[in-house]
Amino acid sequence: MTWLITGGAGYIGAHVVRAMTAAGEQAVVYDDLSTGIAERVPDGVPLVVGSTLDGERLAHTLADHAVTGVVHLAAKKQVG
């Protein structure tokens, strides 16, 4: 099973990615890096930079990485 972790370069998302990969799961991080940090993504885990509002990029990512599950953690904690 391959998991797409939206917001996976954020503080909580990066911990989820580490826990999943430690448990032997495959993960792909999808993050717009507006608040996330690319260096938080563990080595060997693909990082796709994009917005969850970009349906075409998201669809390509799901297909390209054969994603079978999603953990959605992308969010704005403050909306201006």
Residue 74 has pLDDT above 70, yes or no: yes
What's the pTM value of the predicted model, to 2 decimals? 0.94
| Residue 3 clears pLDDT 90, i.e. is over it | yes
Token digits of residue 30: 């999808």
- The pLDDT assigned to 77 comes to 77
Q: Where along the chain do its domains lie?
A: 2-72
The Cα–Cα gap between 4 and 6 comes to 6
Token pair 């430690």 is found at 22
pLDDT in tens, 18-67: 999 999 999 999 999 999 999 999 999 999 999 999 999 999 999 999 99
What is the second-level CATH architecture of the domain 2-72? 3-Layer(aba) Sandwich (3.40)
Which pLDDT does position 15 carry in this prediction?
A: 98
pLDDT of 79 reads 67
